[in-house]
Chains A and B, each alone.
Chain A
């Protein structure tokens, strides 16, 4: 038996050498059918809500585009890429997307973690992307040539959130809470720096925390006048509810992860008066008419629907202008500008959107009300 195995192993090495020599890179053939636009984000799994918001935006944009340009050589279905928001899942999927010749542009990835894995692959395939929601500031280093971002990074949102809190109360003392996610920790860091000595305490409540008793006890002891929660809406709702039920009336503030009608729906009265910031703008606020049309078409808008709608429309502009391959579409979106619902998309050399604002919101009578750009 031993010798048997040894023989096999020797043979194996031979085969490896042979196959390595035979290795040739696959050529990128041109697309022969209709052009496709892809969306990448979590469509199943625990994070699917955000991905579906964005996918709906892309679907709606595609439907409107085809209605206005029935002759356009664009496929009527969005090429859906479900990375579950998980880098490990994105690993095997991204090369497949890159190899689909007809996919000429991609909206997404929705999450920064999955973006870090996917971007180098799209860079080597020359596939242009516009992410509507991945806000990690380091992303351009993974492929600024094809990377574009339709939102401002955490570097902008944090200071804006700090200004918003201070503008409401000049003597604000703030307690910071984050949910230990990539996004939340990054956002909290920038808020922390901007607030400086106003920060009176911090706690981390990992995603999945159901009981905030200890955190609330800390907040009460710190005599904070406001709490800034960085994390996502479902957890934020649980937290704010327990905060109010404990009798605390301090200001609750949070970032774009919480800017979702679901937050109001889940926290109800406890959400009243909450301050939110976001480089994004809710679809209903950006265009009530379009929002109505979208709901009638069977898609519910949510957070980042506006941004993905804009991103998709920018790609359609590029296609309308006669660009039919990845390289020319990439060149178009990298150099031209496009007036979207949320803002004018104009990308700099790093792929970052310039001249955009971070918006402030307040929750009044169960509605997210736009306070305007935070100066």
Chain B
């Protein structure tokens, strides 16, 4: 155990943890949205994220960026980054909607059990992972450096790097936009209505199918943004990437209280920081053990997570 490291590099670890947490938070929003509406864990959500990372890769190719190129500057860089981001969000959103149609819709309409739906989603997840494994020859893929990574400033021994600042800030903007959407827009109201009471919502004229599609779409958009930020920071991806991040993001969603937007947000940031701290103190090998133990403790004290489960009252 190395508490001295945590003490000495506290702000550096916190900052890096926040950047990681921002990605977790964006992914866990997708889990939470779907759970809020369908009361189901969307097991294929990690693959929605995975496809987003590959979409960024494709977009960078379309923008003519080559792996061996020097980083871009000025407007060209901003444009390339934006195209990659939009591409990822679009690809993930489309995937999420398709997942709903393939894995969920028919089963839902037939009134199937939760477990049957769970297995159907797992089937989609397995298929997508294998599809990308075959496409990529089981090899990881590298993402070109579009933006030069520089240290902006140093604070209390923490080196603040530009890409991580962008990730944290942009993730915040995304989440704010989602919160506006859920609380103000027509479909957002629909989502909240369905999550409160599906039957009544239907009676009130809410088109359930459309609301569910929009839910998956919103979750997919967030996962796509997370995918772009992930590949911008870590500059590589592989068919396996969804699995590891998916488990962490799902843990984050449950930690905050699944079905609760604020919970997912808080859970994501908290888990990111927590993982970084525990890696420093106990070693990276024990990271998952510690985060799961903390999750169990939290659930024993607050059985529905830190913020409880209720999308309808969600306020970010």
A–B touching in complex (CB under 8 Å) = yes
Chain A contacts to B: CB under 8 angstroms: 44-49, 52, 180, 203-206, 208-215, 217-218, 220-221, 234, 237-238, 241-242, 245-247, 262, 265-268
- The yes or no answer to B197 lying at the interface (CB within 8 A) is no
Tell me if B159 and A246 are in contact (CB < 8 A): yes
Bitwise, B13-39 to A at CB < 8 A (1) or not (0) is 100110010000000000000000000
Known A210-B241, A213-B279, A214-B276; further 6 A-B contacts with Cβ < 8 A: A44-B138, A180-B285, A213-B16, A215-B279, A234-B238, A262-B139
Whether A203 touches B284, Cβ cut-off 8 Å, given contacts A52-B137, A214-B13, A215-B279, is: yes
Whether A46 touches B133, Cβ cut-off 8 Å, given contacts A214-B284, A215-B284, A247-B159, is: yes
- The yes or no answer to B146 lying at the interface (CB within 8 A) is no
Whether A49 touches B142, Cβ cut-off 8 Å, given contacts A206-B285, A245-B149, is: no
Bitwise, B246-285 to A at CB < 8 A (1) or not (0) is 0000000000000000000000000000011101100111
A237 to chain B: which residues have CB within 8 Å?
140, 142, 236
Q: How far is the CB of B271 from chain A (nearest CB, A)?
A: 12
A242 to chain B: which residues have CB within 8 Å?
234
Q: How far is the CB of B43 from chain A (nearest CB, A)?
A: 18
Whether A221 touches B139, Cβ cut-off 8 Å, given contacts A203-B283, A213-B276, A238-B234, is: no
The residue from A49, A209, A215, A247 contacting B138, defined by CB atoms under 8 A apart: A49
Q: How far is the CB of A259 from chain B (nearest CB, A)?
A: 15
Q: How far is the CB of A112 from chain B (nearest CB, A)?
A: 19
Give the CA-CA distance A52 to B68 in the complex, in Å: 26
Interface core residue of B8, B9, B139, B238 (most chain A CB under 10 Å): B139
Tell me if B12 and A217 are in contact (CB < 8 A): yes
B2 to chain A: which residues have CB within 8 Å?
218
A-B residue pairs in contact (CB < 8 Å), sample of 26: A45-B138, A46-B138, A46-B240, A48-B133, A48-B137, A52-B137, A204-B284, A205-B284, A205-B285, A210-B241, A211-B275, A213-B17, A213-B20, A214-B5, A214-B280, A217-B280, A218-B2, A218-B5, A218-B280, A237-B140, A241-B236, A245-B161, A262-B139, A265-B142, A266-B236, A268-B142
Chain B contacts to A: CB under 8 angstroms: 2, 5, 8-9, 12-13, 16-17, 20, 67-68, 133, 137-140, 142, 145, 149, 151, 159, 161, 230, 234-236, 238, 240-241, 243-245, 275-277, 279-280, 283-285
Whether A217 touches B9, Cβ cut-off 8 Å, given contacts A210-B245, A211-B16, A247-B159, is: yes
A47 to chain B: which residues have CB within 8 Å?
138
Tell me if A206 and B234 are in contact (CB < 8 A): no
B16 to chain A: which residues have CB within 8 Å?
211, 213
Give the CA-CA distance A242 to B140 in the complex, in Å: 16
**Chain B residue with minimal CB distance to A234?**
B140
A214 to chain B: which residues have CB within 8 Å?
5, 13, 276-277, 279-280, 284
Give the CA-CA distance A212 to B236 in the complex, in Å: 14
For the complex of A and B, list the 6 residue pairs with the smallest distance between their C-beta atoms, beginning with the closest.
Answer: A214-B279, A204-B285, A48-B138, A213-B16, A214-B280, A234-B140
Give the CA-CA distance A208 to B241 in the complex, in Å: 8
**Chain A residue with minimal CB distance to B9?**
A217
Give the CA-CA distance A47 to B138 in the complex, in Å: 7
Q: How far is the CB of A82 from chain B (nearest CB, A)?
A: 12
A204 to chain B: which residues have CB within 8 Å?
283-285
Whether A241 touches B284, Cβ cut-off 8 Å, given contacts A52-B137, A208-B243, A217-B5, is: no
Give the CA-CA distance A234 to B137 in the complex, in Å: 13
The residue from A206, A245, A266 contacting B284, defined by CB atoms under 8 A apart: A206
Tell me if B8 and A208 are in contact (CB < 8 A): no
Give the CA-CA distance A105 to B169 in the complex, in Å: 60
Q: How far is the CB of A256 from chain B (nearest CB, A)?
A: 17
B8 to chain A: which residues have CB within 8 Å?
221
A267 to chain B: which residues have CB within 8 Å?
142
Tell me if A209 and B284 are in contact (CB < 8 A): yes
Whether A52 touches B138, Cβ cut-off 8 Å, given contacts A180-B285, A214-B279, A215-B279, is: yes
**Chain A residue with minimal CB distance to B143?**
A266
**Chain B residue with minimal CB distance to A302?**
B139
Give the CA-CA distance A246 to B244 in the complex, in Å: 23
